A = this chain, B = another copy of it.
Amino acid sequence: MQLTSEELKTYDLQGYLLLPNCFAPGEVEVMRAEASALCLQDFAGKILKRDGKTVRMIHGAHLENKVFHRLVRHPKLVKPIMQLLGDSAVYIHRCSLNFKPAFEDTMWSWHQDSSYFCKNDGMPTDQAAIAIVFLDEVNEFNGPTLVMPGSHKEGLINPITEEEESLAIEEKQYLKSRRTQYMLSRPTVTKLVEKYGIVAPKGPAGSVLLFHPSCVHGSAANIMSPFNRTIAVIAYNSVENIPVAVENPRPEYVASRDYRPIEPLSEDVLLQAV
């Protein structure tokens, strides 16, 4: 699968591109079963919610599980990603499963992934690309990813506003303590929404959302709906954008230091026996 020049242009303009029904229902079934199985296993990358029971995230699903090891190498993802990154060879920076169960309040504040990639992981530039694979239908009611189209053109945005910069150190620290790292402030979000608006790309299970790491995004809770929303989030990086060493690197399953380029596998790899 190759992106058309029209699709490449759309991605460049909007910072994201939705590919509906990229994977077939049978392939989705396989991935969903493996995601459920992973929830029952114990390993460092498994992150629970505050209740100590509900799984919020599984970091490094591709390192723990054969199907996700294959998914991140699937040609339907790798080939378009290579196109988006200037036909460069790519490696896997990270892969996680993000769970947003029915009636749960898990949410993600507005942020840019590039803040983490560049500031925490040492990527020289934001020239990476993310593929989100929908393992459930994503609809208006189960907390779809919200995107500000075109916001990737801003580059890295300072999560602290100019007004906040001028506050006393204590107040600044207090504000910081109330946010997750790199969560954008409300005044910043307000200004960005005025400029770029919000869209919520939706689609059936098996759809893929490609997006730029500097594209501002987040998602609301799934508190009202009886529909689970599980997604696989895979960040690819160009081998020409290999991170520099950082002082306190995040764990391997969050930010990989295995820079070997990946080779796309065959189209039917998800349906092959494990």
Q: When A and B form their complex, which 10 residue pairs have the shortest distance between CB atoms, in order from nearest?
A: A190-B226, A220-B224, A193-B226, A103-B186, A141-B198, A218-B224, A220-B223, A146-B224, A189-B226, A140-B140
A117 at the binding interface (Cβ < 8 Å): no
Q: How many residues of A contact B (CB 8 A)?
A: 23
A14 within 8 A of B: no
Give the residue of B194, B198, B220 whose beta carbon is less than 8 angstroms from that of A221: B220
Question: Would you give the 0/1 interface string for A102-138, flagging 1 where the beta carbon is closer than 8 Å to chain B?
Answer: 1100010110000000000000000000000000000
Q: How far is the CB of A175 from chain B (nearest CB, A)?
A: 14
A88 within 8 A of B: no
The B-contacting residues of A in range 146-197, CB under 8 angstroms, are 146, 186, 189-190, 193-194
Smallest CB separation, A161 vs chain B (Å) = 13
Cross-chain contact B146 with A193 (CB below 8 angstroms): no
20 contacts between A and B (CB under 8 A): A102-B186, A102-B190, A103-B189, A107-B224, A110-B224, A140-B140, A141-B198, A141-B200, A146-B224, A190-B226, A193-B225, A193-B226, A194-B226, A198-B224, A218-B224, A219-B224, A220-B223, A220-B224, A221-B221, A221-B223
Complex interface: chain B residues within 8 A of A103 (CB): 186, 189
How many whole Å from A3's CB to the nearest CB in chain B?
A: 27
Complex contacts, A223 vs chain B, CB 8 Å:
107, 220-221
* Pick from B109, B110, B200: contact of A140, CB under 8 Å: B200
B-chain residues with CB within 8 Å of residue A194 when the two chains form the complex: 226
Contact residues in B for A225 (Cβ distance below 8 Å): 193, 198
Least Cβ distance of A172 to chain B in Å?
20
Question: How far in angstroms is the closest Cβ of chain B from A25?
Answer: 19
Report Cα–Cα, A35/B186, bound state, in Å: 24
Closest-by-CB residue of B relative to A197 is B141
Q: Of all chain B residues, which has the CB nearest A199?
A: B140
The answer for the CA separation of A249 and B225 in the assembled complex, in Å, is 33
Chain A 216-246 interface 0/1 with B at a Cβ cutoff of 8 Å (1 = within) = 0011110111100000000000000000000
Within the complex, the shortest CB–CB distance from A201 to chain B, in Å, comes to 12
